[in-house]
Amino acid sequence: MENLEKYLPHFIELRQRLIRCCLAYALVLTPLLIYCSNLYTLLAQPILKSLPSGGMLIATEVITPFTAPLKLAFFTALVLIIPFILYQIWRFVAPGLYPNEKRMVFPIVFMSAALFYIGMLFAHFLVLPMALGFFMQVAPEGVTVMTDMTHYMDFVLVLYFAFGASFQVPIVTFILIRTGITSVEGLKKHRPYIIVGAFVIGMLLTPPDVVSQILLAVPLLGLFEGGVLLAKCFPPKKTES
């Protein structure tokens, strides 16, 4: 009973934080639901520009024109409130951290959210047009490209999430070195395995095509090197014996 009373304030605060996240999600989702068709039109622009003459997006099921924009609205709302969710998590755990931990954790959380958005923008403005252009060019002669709108949306959202997640590599690398789990020398020693791992991750996270896998693996390696460089600039402090 005493333990329950001890942790009760934490459960109450956690409940309040969750309610705030749900309210923020509903607040952002409402206008997106109203304009979800416009949102999907915006998402469809890259493939519409890449389609050859006669190509088009199609709906293979009756309810697809209704459900696809709705799904996109729910996903977009969740992505937009990621900073707010991270802030609520930070406010919940910050009282239990030491001052030096607070100074390290807050910038990491901020950079993590920023890198996630940068990864999605990288996928949208660079990777997606290149991938779509390649797929349209390799279509055999006489084949009319007609992509289902749901399949296209799923392809794009997986691509966005894969690049957003992969751009966390510098943060993960920095934390591993900073906490002493590994070292810069250790990572350099295992660089060949890391290169292979980057292409394996590209294969697992991206849609099943070689172009997307390569376009993810190459930046992944660059981000890894960036994380190593960052760790060199801020080496872990050696504890005094």
**Backbone torsions φ then ψ of 139, nearest 5 degrees:** -65, 130
Amino acid (1-letter code) at residue 122: F
Residue 240 has pLDDT above 60, yes or no: no
Which sequence spans correspond to the domains of the chain? 2-167
> pTM here?
0.80
Residue 1 has pLDDT above 60, yes or no: no
Residue with tokens 């460089």: 229
Count of beta carbons in the 10 Å neighbourhood of residue 128: 22
Q: Quick one: pLDDT at residue 2?
A: 60
Q: Quick one: pLDDT at residue 104?
A: 79
Confidence of residue 4 (pLDDT cuts 50, 70, 90): low
Confidence of residue 241 (pLDDT cuts 50, 70, 90): very low
What is the C-alpha separation between 195 and 6, in angstroms, rounded?
48
Q: Quick one: pLDDT at residue 48?
A: 87
Residue with tokens 């960036």: 226
- Helix, strand or coil for residue 187? helix
Confidence of residue 74 (pLDDT cuts 50, 70, 90): very high
H/E run at residue 148: strand 146-148
Cβ–Cβ < 8 Å for 157, 151? no
Residue 238 has pLDDT above 80, yes or no: no
Q: Quick one: pLDDT at residue 19?
A: 95
pLDDT in tens, 115-170: 999 999 988 988 888 888 877 887 777 777 788 999 999 989 988 988 898 888 88
| Residues in Cβ contact with 236 at an 8 Å cutoff, skipping those fewer than 6 apart | 177, 178, 179, 180
